[in-house]
Amino acid sequence: MAETENTSISTQVQNEFVIDDGRIESIEEYLSPEELFDDLISRVKKYNPEGVELIRKAFELANNAHKDQLRKSGEPYIIHPIYVAIILADLEMDTNTVIAGILHDIIEDTDLTYEDLKNTFNEDVADIVEGVTKLSRMEIGNRDKMDVQAENLRKMFLAMAKDIRVIVVKLADRLHNMRTLKHMSPEKQIEKAKETLEIYSPIAQRLGISRIKVELDDLSLKYLEPEAYYDLVDKIATRRAEREKYVQSIVEEVGQHIKNAGIHATIDGRVKHFFSIYKKMKNQNKTLDQIYDLFAVRIIVDTIPDCWAALGVVHGIYKPYPGRFKDYIASPKSNMYQSLHTTVIGSSGQPFEIQIRTNEMHQIAEYGIAAHWKYKENADGKHIYLSDEKKFAWLRQILEWQKESEDNAEFLNLVKNGLDLFTDEVYCFTPNGELKQLPMGSTPVDFAYSIHSAVGNKMIGAKANGKLVNIDYKIQNGDKIEILTSNTSTGPSLDWLSFVKSAQARNKINQWFRQERKDDNIVRGKELLSSYCKPRGYDYNELAKTPYTDYVMRKYGFKEWDALLAAVGHGGLKEGQVINKMTELYERNHKKPITDEQVVETVAADAQTRKNRRFDAKSGIVVEGVDDVAFRFGKCCSPIPGDDIVGFVTRGKGVSIHRRDCVNIRNLPFEDKKRLIEADWSEAALTADNSNKYIASITIFANNRNGLLVDITRTLTEKNVPILSLSTATSKREVATVQVSFEIQSKEELTNIVEKLGQIESVLNIERTSS
């Protein structure tokens, strides 16, 4: 232990105003590019003075290349790359990464090329910039946004596997864009904030870069829940002086005892960031006044023995809160985080958290993977090998999902669940003593699939600490889990999906069922495509030829035609998506010059179409070639404006309107397919001021708990949604199924309602009802 007089004590309420608008935006409004660059150089000199000249060379190149470009705010474009480089310098990244930050938009937005950067600097810089550029390019065209996002995520994870610094630059780029998001349209603000919260913030957390993760979280909250954000800012600011005084008293008291024990330490107090507090208020259904652990005291010492000595001092002063001690030194988090956490009761009776770690642990907690550039001599992104680093198990898992999952919707869902670190982890052991980290609430099924898919598929039972347990048993910290298997096992059960917690287990179970049913799905997919073609006058056999099948396989990322057919068969792809893409190419390849006679015929045909078109103002439906018939909406799928719809001519009850993905429509007998007619929504029905009311039906799946139904009805009431019917059921495994119907005016309104309901505690999934 070091001398007592070296103990230093400081209070830092550092996260209260880290996102304060005036502070960040005033800097950007008043500093010129040259002043900002001088600030960058002063930061780099503190840890890497040798790299200054190359960084200056990069600035001069970028400043000249971007000289005629402006950002949406009206400021010179070069401001953005400099801020990105400043963020990277604050992480103490290597010279090549800081240079890449300055140049990250140069290939995409200027005439400079990869070869120019390679010749001017080096191959390393050129590779990082090219990697970031590939992540930025989105060829959207007529493609679905989900497909675009999925493909860009695939590119992102491949780039990370090649050089982890690519994603570090991308995170810095996203952080500065979020800081200046006020210059974007409200729609873009929400879109970018949601993507940040679902993808970029969890990646920053996985890489252990808490500095970036915390700010991304808070900025996302600012745009997704502005009222909650600013209310929280105001309330925290109101009692700031009182809280700082209290934190100061605790830090001084702890500091004095640590000093008396002869431990060299730095001690500070910090208020938890806004998003963390908001999440706790929401999850626990509490007000700010009811959240007691708003701050944490941090003790930073020299060695691991000092950590335990400091813990002994703390527990000698304050009473430990039962069940709230965590040893992340012996069992680090998956993102390399190490610390001792303990919650204690203060002299006033108020609980607060104390974190104890070494200086190196603190650097890794703040900078994560970036700390490798400080603690590993000559380290770079290419030399942090995924195969050697346990901390990159999550990235290897996502790369594996990428190979296995050809369905973009499924891949997106897997990534979002797999990156989610908002739940704690549980630590357990194999019979051989190997440590396993799983999401809190995991079961023996999750454990089995974490070992190998074959173990999970052959599982017939489990033991915890030598005793037989149910397969939905919730694993506790320290449990020794043994999986019982049998070669005669018939495979996993669909029921398992209702209680498994890990994205890996869910993916493997779904994959098993897809493979088992692949032949049936291929046949069904072919039937669906053929059935879709017939009423529209397409020849499926003509379309199912090499140029057209190759085209859609490339579009949707499939390597085999059978795999695409299986995806259509199990509902991962809609038959209309596939046929529409094929017919686009077919028509381009068979386009002939238009004669004068054809022009006359086309005009006449259009006039006849308008004459035959039937518009029903009350329902907002437009159909072709049908007159004097009543319309009604199918109760089985409850279509709403914006849904892809089709009409079905009933016997004596007019035309029934259904969603194209309605189970009843998809399973129509072949002889009834000819009664399908084209239908669409009128322009009036799709406008924001549409006054018609439509019935929407959804099914909510959730882990059963007290107050679940109250939370669901409260959310709908707050949204001013009239509830028409509501029914509930609970399975033996305590999974609640809530079916609810209500009135809405548009698909956008339904999307917003579903998003709100999805945020309710214990909700697992929400589906549109189609039965």
CA distances from 132 to 19, 188, 363, 713 (A): 26, 21, 26, 45
Q: Is the CB of residue 436 less than 8 Å from the CB of residue 428?
A: yes
Burial class (CB in 10 A: 0-12, 13-18, 19+), 590: exposed
3-state SS, 186-202, equals HHHHHHHHHHHHHHHHH
Closest to 431 (Cα-Cα) out of 473, 477, 465, 482: 482
Which pair of structure tokens corresponds to residue 194?
């949601």
Q: Is the CB of residue 532 less than 8 Å from the CB of residue 480?
A: no
Question: Cα–Cα–Cα angle for 217, 223, 227, nearest 5°?
Answer: 105
Tokens 């140069």 locate to: 106
Distance CA 250, CA 243 (A): 11
Whether residue 108 lies in the annotated active site: yes
Query: DSSP readout, 431-469?
Result: TT--EEEEETT--HHHHHHHH-HHHHHTEEEEEETTEEE
Neighbours of 382 (CB within 10 A): 13
Q: Is the CB of residue 443 less than 8 Å from the CB of residue 501?
A: yes
Closest to 528 (Cα-Cα) out of 570, 557, 556: 570
Catalytic hit among 39, 90, 109, 147: 109
Give per-residue burial for 633-669: e unless 16+ CB within 10 Å, then b: bbebbbbbbebebbbbbeeeeebbbbbbbbeebbebe
Q: Is the CB of residue 459 less than 8 Å from the CB of residue 489?
A: yes
CA distances from 309 to 9, 53, 370, 665 (A): 17, 46, 29, 69
Catalytic hit among 39, 75, 90, 108: 108
Whether residue 624 lies in the annotated active site: no
Active site residues: 108-109
